[in-house]
Amino acid sequence: VAILTDDRRSPSVIAEALLDHGVDDFRAYVCENVGGSNERIVESDLSDLVGQEFAALNVLLLLRDPTPSPCTKGSGRSEGRAPLLGIPDEAFHQRRPPDGLITKSEVRAVALAKLAMREDSVVWDIGAGSGSIAVEAARLAHRGQVFAVERNPAAVADIRQNVIEFGVPQVEVVEAEAPEGLSALPDPDAVFVGGSGRRLADILTDVCGRLRPGGRVVVSLATVENLNAALQTLRSHGYAAEVTQVSIARSRDVAGLTRLQALNPVFLVTGERMGTRE
Amino acid sequence: VAILTDDRRSPSVIAEALLDHGVDDFRAYVCENVGGSNERIVESDLSDLVGQEFAALNVLLLLRDPTPSPCTKGSGRSEGRAPLLGIPDEAFHQRRPPDGLITKSEVRAVALAKLAMREDSVVWDIGAGSGSIAVEAARLAHRGQVFAVERNPAAVADIRQNVIEFGVPQVEVVEAEAPEGLSALPDPDAVFVGGSGRRLADILTDVCGRLRPGGRVVVSLATVENLNAALQTLRSHGYAAEVTQVSIARSRDVAGLTRLQALNPVFLVTGERMGTRE
Amino acid sequence: VAILTDDRRSPSVIAEALLDHGVDDFRAYVCENVGGSNERIVESDLSDLVGQEFAALNVLLLLRDPTPSPCTKGSGRSEGRAPLLGIPDEAFHQRRPPDGLITKSEVRAVALAKLAMREDSVVWDIGAGSGSIAVEAARLAHRGQVFAVERNPAAVADIRQNVIEFGVPQVEVVEAEAPEGLSALPDPDAVFVGGSGRRLADILTDVCGRLRPGGRVVVSLATVENLNAALQTLRSHGYAAEVTQVSIARSRDVAGLTRLQALNPVFLVTGERMGTRE
Amino acid sequence: VAILTDDRRSPSVIAEALLDHGVDDFRAYVCENVGGSNERIVESDLSDLVGQEFAALNVLLLLRDPTPSPCTKGSGRSEGRAPLLGIPDEAFHQRRPPDGLITKSEVRAVALAKLAMREDSVVWDIGAGSGSIAVEAARLAHRGQVFAVERNPAAVADIRQNVIEFGVPQVEVVEAEAPEGLSALPDPDAVFVGGSGRRLADILTDVCGRLRPGGRVVVSLATVENLNAALQTLRSHGYAAEVTQVSIARSRDVAGLTRLQALNPVFLVTGERMGTRE
């Protein structure tokens, strides 16, 4: 939205009105004296605009804020508190038992790094579970599109709730089984496969055909058989595939001493489509 | 910059002129018919503006693009190609031997997740080495400030080059020894300690006193003695500290077979300052 | 025992009588025609002697068998079935929860290797728990002495039962707290410290003073603080200390697929007393 | 050998004569007054016999000592110094580069535990390399037979040298390619496969058919493809197979600090033939 402000409807007054209506997730750019020698652009959160004085005539530009700053505090919504990367596992809505379902925070970070997204990437999260990867991907690729594909209705409900709580409306939830549910989606730059329901080879074959040049697919695997299947499938489609095994141990305080507890190791298989990203 | 465009100096003409001068790292917002019923805002890269038609009078807003989109292709500069997270280790300028110096890509991702930055965080990277953490932190905290503190002149030169190549001007390089060099910096939201030159306790004492409420410090450690010192120091300052051991194995293709090669395990100690982030 | 056999009390008859009384854990050496040109020595298990014919006069030598061969089958006692190394964790009597107490089979093997015992070594197992290390050490050092030191009466009962079941009478159970309980023991060639009840430094100080030249101490540790304390204490007594971190993942069959489950990592600190073993 | 001693050829004199001729690897059992009320058996090393007094008539039994005690010191042969388990990697003769060839000490210990040998086991070490597994297996299964199968002549030479140096004559070196070279060997109780020269499935098929009931095969693997092949082959022959991943980090002293260095992770696949060991 762009608003030409005047004496009465000043940036401060407009900001106050919006905040009164619970709207707080915009970034404001006040462009004073546009084209004049004393031209100035002020970037601000809405709450910081209140009370500020500007020239009489301004262009007030309001852009939806994909990664709200912490000044949204007091809104009671969690997205203001959540970091760009490193949301704690327990902050996500998820089915029980939590341990078995969610890709752990540390593994998520490595997987997101392997996906090598850009801010406008098209991302698929297949077998999205609670949507933890989709949510964090959307915070990184904040001008892109993220599709969370999940066939389990209870998990879909979790994803929807997480999308709201973490303020990532660019995540589109697709309740479908892969690979069938993928046909309607735009070709991806980055694909994460967190669950495959025994259809891993089918899914990867589909993904290999759809990835854009220079795009990446990252498959998270817990079993030896799927690890092997992922490697074979990717290579049969001409992809160079690499494996990264991630073994994490987290400390637990036991009687004042720091004991290390291991998470189960995870294999990440990364494939990259040859060619240069357009 | 905000420009009031007219018939002759249209957005297309202005964009073309800028590109001719090698300026390509701005995002353009063309605000047509501001305040009118047919108001429209178009967001674009400069290269996509060329040839587009708009109304006669527009406000053309140019904002420096902290995370340039890939349409900067052809510029020959690497920032257009680099992902938001997951820059390959070998893409950084660094002193030899590279293995001994750089925090490896996977560990970097986990450390950045532990730092729990927001887009406007103030970040210190102490003992910054080649600046790999500072660069990736700056891509995440793209509206924040990142200070790369490093005492070794050769490393400082690497950081400066990486800052230019990866297009993260919000990284400020501080050639100084910690903790002395920290006194002039604004209080941080997130601190990464990658090297301490045997002054770990001093540095952490300083950091503990400077971190903002809710802020985090993450220390990367390779030795048992420093691991212990980091835990003791953080706790003596009232910080709850946790340890994460990250053990990564990467595949290497050997005669068509996929062999796993271990990276040395790294301990990440994370401390969080009590209180709520403002 | 050495027995001069004759026509009626032949090796076969004697072996049968012993087996009838449940004695089966001796190795028999039948020395025929000692000193004669047709001298012959037959080594055998008791059960294999039954029915065999020998010369009329023999020296039948019976030596207690520290590592009974599998021909003790049918005796219903587990030592005949147990391997020399690699007894399954669940074969040991132990208090619940088993996971928290026993040194896991794989870690035990590495620790025993680090102890570098000889067959006649004097071994201390301090904080012996269920005695799993003592039992396996006794199978290796089968002509030596093994002392299992444990202060918890319930654990002591477990050790006694394991000593009987695994047929290692050379293990002596010492119900005492370390280091006090160590003073009456002969100086050791090899010391394993599996538990220290917060008295690690005291125990290691005592051990460092008692170890024979060339002897080894191996400390199993789960916490960062104790790891550091063990290193500092050993070094302060002039021992070169090395750390081995053992991270094991075991497969579990989940719906026909092979999933890896991590055991918690264990630190083994090994110290060696300078000098040559006599 | 059994010797009837008399006044002049006393145990002491005989022992001294043997030692003068360089024979020191026998255990001596002096059986005094056999059958008398003052019967006594003394077990000793040869060197300890010298100077000891006994009754006039004794049976002196000399048994070859498979695991010589350290009193063989001064003989200049390494077997006297080598531990039963835990021989350092660098003590083995091996081709360069050592790192790539030898199964590391810690992994060897875990593999030997998984083999669950008894003292009289028949063991095959296939792709024996430097023979490190064969040597340590022979020290455990000291009354058994160990076959080291290796096709590479240079490696065979290493094995022969290691067999001599570590005093394990019960290791028989078989210069042949597996599985062809296995046909002449007795059926095994325990099989270690350390190298397979791309014929893993053939070798395991052969081993599965030859293992005695209750016997074990342990395959050491570094690649994902071979891990998968081993699992598939074992299962297709009705074996339950388990995987153990062994990840070891060893400390290295760097400027007085204790840094952890990772060895590459190794997969051990263990299969057990159903049935009870005879």
Q: What is the maximum span of chain C, computed from C-alpha positions, in angstroms?
A: 69
Closest partner residue to A228 among D228, D243, D265, by Cβ?
D228
Report the SS3 class of residue C6. Answer: coil
Mean of pLDDT values over A177-192: 97
pLDDT at residue A98, as a whole number: 45
Among A106, A198, A223, A224, which would you mutate to test the C interface (most chain C Cβ atoms within 10 Å of its Cβ)?
A223
Q: How many B-D residue pairs are in contact by the CB < 8 A criterion?
A: 54
Q: Say how far apart CA B169 and CA B166 lie, in whole Å.
A: 9
The chain-wide mean pLDDT, for chain D, equals 87
The predicted pLDDT at position C196 comes to 82
Phi-psi region of D116 (alpha: psi -120 to 50; beta: other; left: phi over 0): left
Distance between A135 CA and the closest CA of chain D, angstroms:
32
Q: Distance (Å, rounded) from C-alpha A242 to C-alpha A268?
A: 8
Contact B224 C227 (CB under 8 A): yes
* Contact: C259, A222; criterion CB under 8 Å: yes
* Chain D CA closest to residue B263: D262
Say how many C-beta atoms besides its own lie within 10 A of residue C153's C-beta.
9
Q: Which chains touch D (3 or more CB pairs under 8 A)?
A: A, B, C
Question: Could you say which of C225, C259, C262 has the minimum Cβ distance to residue A223?
Answer: C259
Output the average pLDDT for chain B. Answer: 87
> Which stretch of DSSP H or E encloses residue B227?
helix B224-236
Using the beta-carbon criterion (under 8 Å), do A249 and C264 form an inter-chain contact? Answer: yes
Do D224 and A243 lie within an 8 Å CB cutoff?
A: yes
What's the mean pLDDT in B4-15? 85
pLDDT in tens, C85-137: 999 998 998 876 543 468 999 999 999 999 999 999 999 999 999 999 999 99
Residue B65: pLDDT band with limits 50, 70, 90: low
Q: How many CB atoms lie within 10 A of CB A78?
A: 14
CB contact under 8 A, B262 and D262: yes
Taking one residue from A and the other from C, the number of pairs with CB-CB distance under 8 angstroms is 54
Residue among D191, D190, D201, D198 at smallest CA distance from D231: D201
Which of C258, C267, C268 has the highest number of chain A CBs within 10 A, making it the mutation to test binding with A? C258
pLDDT tier, D39 (very low <50, low <70, confident <90, very high otherwise): confident
Locate the chain B residue with the closest alpha carbon to D247.
Answer: B262
pLDDT digit string (tens) for C40-63? 888 888 888 888 888 877 888 887
**Which tens digits make up the pLDDT trace of C15-42?**
888 877 667 778 888 888 877 777 788 8
Residue A99: pLDDT over 60 = no
Backbone angles phi, psi at D191, to 5 degrees: -130, 125
pLDDT beyond 50 at B74: no
CA distance A219 to A215: 14
- Count of alpha carbons within 13 angstroms of residue D108, beta-carbon side: 27
For residue A72, the model assigns a pLDDT of 30
Q: Which residues of B touch A31 (CB under 8 A)?
A: 2, 59, 61
- Judged against a pLDDT cut of 80, whether residue C257 lies above it is answered with yes
Distance of alpha carbon D184 from alpha carbon B173, whole angstroms: 71
- Tell me the chain A residues in contact with residue D247 when contact means C-beta distances shorter than 8 Å: 247
Tens-place pLDDT, residues C177-223: 999 999 999 999 999 999 887 899 999 999 999 999 999 999 999 99
Q: How many angstroms separate the CA atoms of C117 and C138, rounded?
A: 10
- Residue that the structure tokens 């007393």 belong to: C273
Residue B72 corresponds to which tokens in the numbers above?
């900067």
Average pLDDT, chain C: 87
Nearest alpha carbon to residue C237 among C195, C203, C261: C203
User: Could you give the residue ranges of the DSSP H alpha helices within A79-125?
Assistant: 98-101, 105-115
Name every residue whose Cβ is closer than 8 Å to that of residue B5 and which is 6 or more positions away in sequence: B11, B14, B30, B54, B57, B58, B59, B60
Weakest mean pLDDT among A151-155, B23-27, C149-153: B23-27
Residue C79 has pLDDT above 60, yes or no: no
pLDDT at residue A40 in the model: 80
Residue B69 has a pLDDT of 33
Of C31, C118, C231, the CB nearest to D70: C118
Nearest residue of chain A to residue C226 (CA atoms): A257
Percent of chain C with pLDDT strictly greater than 70? 90
- Residue C8 DSSP one-character state: S
**Closest alpha carbon within chain C to D251:** C243
Contact check, Cβ <8 Å, D231/A224: yes
CA distances C46 to A245, B47, C17, C30, D31, Å, are: 53, 93, 10, 11, 20
Q: Which residues from chain A sit within 8 angstroms of residue C254, using beta carbons?
A: 223
Question: What CA dihedral angle connects B92, B93, B95 and B98, to 10 degrees?
Answer: 30
ipTM: 0.75
Question: C246: Cβ–Cβ under 8 A, 6 or more apart, which residues?
Answer: C106, C107, C110, C265, C266, C267, C268, D106, D246, D247, D248
Report the neighbours of B using a cutoff of 3 or more CB pairs below 8 angstroms.
Answer: A, C, D
At residue B270, φ and ψ (nearest 5 deg) are: -115, 130
d(CA C133, CA C171): 11
Residues of B with CB under 8 A from a CB of D: 222-226, 247, 249, 251, 254, 257-265
| B172: Cα within 13 Å, side-chain hemisphere | 14
Give the chain C residue nearest D268 (alpha carbons): C250
* DSSP E strand boundaries for chain A: 2-5, 26-32, 40-45, 58-64, 122-126, 145-150, 171-175, 190-193, 216-221, 240-254, 257-262, 266-272
Peptide bond into D153 cis (omega under 30): no
- Chain D positions touching chain B (beta carbons under 8 Å): 222-226, 247, 249, 251, 254, 257-265
| Nearest CB partner across the interface for C224, out of A225, A258, A264 | A258
Chain A: touching chains (3 or more CB pairs < 8 Å): B, C, D
Contacts of D83 in chain C (CB under 8 A): 113, 115-118
DSSP assignment, residue A203?
A: H
Nearest to C117 among D83, D231, D243 (CB): D83
pLDDT in tens, B209-258: 999 999 999 999 999 999 999 999 999 999 989 999 999 999 999 888 99
Question: Using one digit for the tens of pLDDT, what is the confidence trace for D60-113?
Answer: 888 776 543 332 333 333 334 688 899 999 899 887 654 346 899 999 999 999
pLDDT at C65: 62
DSSP letters, D239-257, are -EEEEEEEEEEEEEEETTE
Interchain CB distance below 8 Å, D225 and B265: no
pLDDT confidence band for A8 (50 / 70 / 90): confident
Shortest alpha-carbon distance between residue D99 and chain B (Å):
13
Nearest-neighbour CA in chain B from C99: distance (Å): 21
What pLDDT does residue C20 have?
76
- Considering only CB atoms, which chain D residues are within 8 Å of B257? 223-226
**Chain C residues touching A265 at Cβ < 8 A:** 249, 260, 262
Q: Could you say which of B226, B259, B264 has the minimum Cβ distance to residue D261?
A: B264
Residue D181 has pLDDT above 80, yes or no: yes
CA angle at residue A250 from B138 to A259, to 5 degrees?
A: 140
